[in-house]
Amino acid sequence: MISAKNTVVFSGGDLSAPLQRENVEFNRLVMFWNGETPGQSYFVLRLRVRFPGGEWEPWMEWAKWGRNISSSTTSPRRGNYRMEVDTLLADTKCEAFELGVEAISDTQGQKPRLDMVGATFWNREEVMPEVKSEWTGEIQVPPRSQMIQPSPDRRVICSPTCLAMVFAYYGRDIATLDVAAGVFDYGPEIYGNWSFNTAFAGSVGLSAFVHRATGMGEVREWLAAGTPMIASIAYGKGELKGAPQEKSNGHLVVITGFTVRDGEEYVVTNDPAAPDAETVRRLYRRDEFERAWNHIVYILFSH
């Protein structure tokens, strides 16, 4: 088990034991997993929580995912907590969670193989301590634009386009629209399900998880180790100068570095909403980017 303050990853022999984390406080949680789903096999994903002083809540089945099936989520509601696509939202703080993954074989007897499962969790009101780092530099991630894709959905495939860029960085050249098809959530009909994006990344031979980072210092440390970060942002008109979209309620970009110009620090990104690959590289003032960022990232790395 790999464990941080707000992200836990179970792998190897841990997968035969209860996938629990206790003595924590959270009201938000995102589950993730990596594995192989040959043929029409798939995983059924469940989770349950416990509130302080109470018993375990009933299991909540919220998703089924397989690389070759029509993967989908539901958004079940239970009293003072619910799932919204990929995120558990609770009105009050929970003190424990347990993750459940059921492997469903296909009619040919092909069974999924689970390599890793985990969750990132946090309190919405929590101010997280910053990791100190002064690293500057840039990782060269091959650029891709979602806007040049021959698809009517090209404006809403920022997440799989970011995945495709990082895949290429790790030497896996997969067509952007093939990635989009692999991450699509047939429940709400979206491409931006965080859990499904990391599951697809795991299915192509990478390790991938969702993480709520403490801040830019932690991002610097990952970049210094050669690991690009896919970050979730949202901003209003004029709030992110230089962005190809004047505003966005939800968008994904690849953070590739940090640089200083004229005494001002900038976050270097590959922004897939650029009109072409030549203009994907974008510099955003760090203070503006931090206000737009919700601290959620996808972390992908090669074995």
Spell out the residues 6+ positions from residue 184 whose beta carbon is closer than 8 angstroms to its own: 71, 190, 191, 196
Domains in the chain with CATH codes: 2-122 (2.60.120), 137-302 (3.90.70.10)
Strand partners, 230: 254, 298
pLDDT of residue 14: 78
Tens of pLDDT, residues 242-264:
999 999 999 999 999 999 999 99
Mean pLDDT over residues 73-87, rounded? 95
pLDDT of residue 2: 53
If pLDDT is split at 50, 70 and 90, which confidence band does 17 have? confident
Helix (H, G, I), strand (E, B) or coil at 3: strand
pLDDT at 172 over 60: yes
pLDDT at 127 over 80: no
pLDDT of residue 63: 98
DSSP code for 190: B
Predicted model pTM: 0.95
Higher pLDDT, 76 or 13: 76
| Exposed/middle/buried for residue 134 (C-beta within 10 Å: 0-12, 13-18, 19+) | exposed
- In whole angstroms, give the CA distance from residue 177 to residue 182: 9
Mean pLDDT over residues 36-42, rounded? 97
Mean pLDDT over residues 116-144, rounded? 90
Percent of the chain's residues with pLDDT above 70: 99
pLDDT of residue 3: 52
Tens of pLDDT, residues 99-117:
999 999 999 999 999 999 9
If pLDDT is split at 50, 70 and 90, which confidence band does 281 have? very high
Mean pLDDT over residues 138-144, rounded? 98
Mean pLDDT over residues 269-273, rounded? 98
Q: Which residue has the tokens 């004229």?
A: 262
Phi/psi of residue 111, each to 5°?
-115, 140
Helix (H, G, I), strand (E, B) or coil at 263: coil
The kind and range of the H/E element at 94 are strand 87-104
pLDDT of residue 1: 45
In the chain, what's the furthest Cα-to-Cα distance?
63
pLDDT of residue 244: 98
The kind and range of the H/E element at 28 are strand 19-36
User: How much is the mean pLDDT over the chain?
Assistant: 95
Mean pLDDT over residues 82-105, rounded? 97
pLDDT of residue 39: 98
Mean pLDDT over residues 17-40, rounded? 96
Mean pLDDT over residues 210-232, rounded? 95
- In whole angstroms, give the CA distance from residue 161 to residue 143: 9
Structure tokens, 299: 């972390």
Structure tokens, 266: 């900038």
Higher pLDDT, 220 or 14: 220
For the chain, the C-alpha Rg in angstroms (whole number) is 19
The kind and range of the H/E element at 222 are helix 216-224
Structure tokens, 261: 């110009």
